[in-house]
Amino acid sequence: YGTSTISENGHLTIGGVDTVQLAKKFGTALYVYDVSMIREKARAFRSAFEREELNYQVAYASKAFSCVAMIQLAEEEGLSLDVVSGGELYTALQAGFPVDRIHFHGNNKSEAEIRMALDAEIGCFVVDNFYELTLLEQLAEEKGVRANVLLRITPGIEAHTHDYILTGQEDSKFGFDLQSGQVEKAIQSANGMNQVHLLGLHCHIGSQIFETTGFVMAIEKIYSYLSKWYESFGFQPEVLNLGGGFGIRYTSDDEPLPVENYINAMIKTVKSQMTAGMRMPEIWIEPGRSLVGEAGITLYTVGSHKQVPELRNYLAVDGGMSDNLRPALYQAKYEATIANRMYEPSDHLYSVAGKCCESGDMLIWDCELQRAIAGDTMAVFSTGAYGYSMANNYNRLPRPAVVFVENGEVSLVVRRESYEDLIRHDMPLKQAIIS
């Protein structure tokens, strides 16, 4: 697993750092990222493109995990950045990310968010719908600036993944519908606008995808329209953004493809679909999960233990759906280990419970683990994407800290929330009345 090894005293180490000591020093629950693994993934994506000698951008989808240090790491690795809200944009700006490589997503960007992005002069807006297109034109005109635009299209492709994270199918809240002529209409209207420069098209077919087929089908579908539009009104995209969604390994049942397989399939399909006279567009992608997912683990301290005779062994940890919503929300599966007993056999069957007041707060059902007692450190793997970013304060649990480890060095990149943080925005009863 990544750069993890086992130390002589049987402790799990990651990035050259003892996880049991991390737990002791920073407390639990704790997110730990193996920075070298994030770099490795970023480089794999980029070198797949470099081999093809075409213009490209690999944008990190910061919704997967956003904090100042992560954005700075993305910059160091030559990535672009996908943001989906004023908050993600603010984080990127505070991190000093190059604005021309920021792409702004979202199906309901507010006026304030659009203004903020225009003021920052970001690289491009991924426009989701007609309302936004008109609003953007207006606001850009007010400011006397020109906005680069990709139109997000819904290609009508169903990728095989969990329903909630499927996005490319026809009946989706995202994007202009391809089948019904909305995309053509949007292209025409963007082309007629003064403050909008139409760069090209965007699509994202879903998340945690393990095959290249969905991407190939989406490209074929898009090109079946593009060749018509090229012939009838000379439209050619400068940029084709094919989204993210590349699958990762959560458990041994998952078999992700090497990232170059996706890139190669994409480029090959685009080339095969272009009709005579068309030029090769820049290919952009925006992976989130595949850049950070496997690089993150969560450390917990084992606490209470409950045995239901002949049925189940519950083992509770000091976190749960507040730091990892994915099992409760998507029935997502994870694997774990007892980080201070790495040399002991995994001959116990436990179901790992969180500490929230909710029966559904189970992190892992039926997990083979080493014998575990209160005070042990548990590591849950592959929690780097949509873990911290979807963390919440349910039951008023403070959000955990985040540390980066690399070559034996540790840095605290997000401080643990305190109880004071939890009531920071609360007002006492009397003061709360506004008449």
Please enumerate in sequence order all residues whose Cβ is within 8 A of that of 81, keeping only pairs 6 or more positions apart, or say none. 59, 60, 62, 71, 74, 92, 97, 101, 102, 103
Which residue, 12 or 244, has its beta carbon nearer to ligand LLP? 244
Q: Can you state the angle between helices 68-76 and 35-50, rounded to 10 degrees?
A: 40
Which residue, 15 or 244, has its beta carbon nearer to ligand LLP? 244
- Closest approach of ligand LLP to the CB of residue 46, in Å: 15
Phi/psi-derived region of residue 240, left when phi > 0, alpha when psi is between -120 and 50, beta in every other case: beta
Residue 326 annotated in ligand binding: yes
Residues 106, 108, 114, 115: what is their CA dihedral angle, to the nearest 10 degrees? -150
Which one of the listed residues 67, 124, 356, 357 is annotated catalytic? Answer: 357
* Phi, psi (rounded to 5 degrees) for 367: -115, 130
Query: CA-to-CA distance for 225 and 232, rounded, in angstroms?
Result: 11
- Closest approach of ligand LLP to the CB of residue 106, in Å: 9
404, 72 in Cβ contact below 8 A?
Answer: no
Query: CA-to-CA distance for 424 and 12, rounded, in angstroms?
Result: 36
Residue 388 annotated in ligand binding: no
Query: CA-to-CA distance for 303 and 77, rounded, in angstroms?
Result: 39
Q: What is the dihedral sign for C-alpha 65, 3, 165, 226?
A: positive
Residue 386 annotated in ligand binding: yes
393, 399 in Cβ contact below 8 A?
Answer: yes
Residue 282 annotated in ligand binding: no
Position 391: which residue type? A
Which residue, 26 or 319, has its beta carbon nearer to ligand LLP? 319
Which residue, 128 or 376, has its beta carbon nearer to ligand LLP? 128
Residue 416 annotated in ligand binding: no
Q: Is the peptide bond before 29 cis (omega within 30 degrees of 0)?
A: yes
Q: What separation, in Å, do the N-terminal and C-terminal C-alpha atoms of the chain show? A: 58
Residue 330 annotated in ligand binding: yes
- Closest approach of ligand LLP to the CB of residue 293, in Å: 8
Residue 341 annotated in ligand binding: no
Which residue, 328 or 367, has its beta carbon nearer to ligand LLP? 328
- Closest approach of ligand LLP to the CB of residue 248, in Å: 9
Token pair belonging to 85: 């809200």
Exposure string over 126-163, b if 16+ CB within 10 A, otherwise e: bbbbeebbebbbebbeeeeeebbbbbbbbbbbebebee
Token pair belonging to 283: 């290919």
Interface residues toward ligand LLP, by CB under 6 A:
61, 64, 82, 105, 165, 167, 204, 207, 243-246, 286-290, 326, 330, 385-386
Which residue, 261 or 313, has its beta carbon nearer to ligand LLP? 261
Which residue, 155 or 245, has its beta carbon nearer to ligand LLP? 245
2 three-class SS: coil
Indicate the burial class of 111 (C-beta count within 10 angstroms; 0-12, 13-18, 19 or more): exposed
- Closest approach of ligand LLP to the CB of residue 204, in Å: 4
**356 among known catalytic residues:** no
Query: CA-to-CA distance for 379 and 52, rounded, in angstroms?
Result: 39
- Closest approach of ligand LLP to the CB of residue 390, in Å: 6
Residue ranges of the binding site for pyridoxal 5'-phosphate: 245, 286-289, 386
Residue ranges of the binding site for substrate: 289, 326, 330, 358, 386
Please identify every residue annotated as catalytic: 357
Residue ranges of the binding site: 245, 286-289, 326, 330, 358, 386
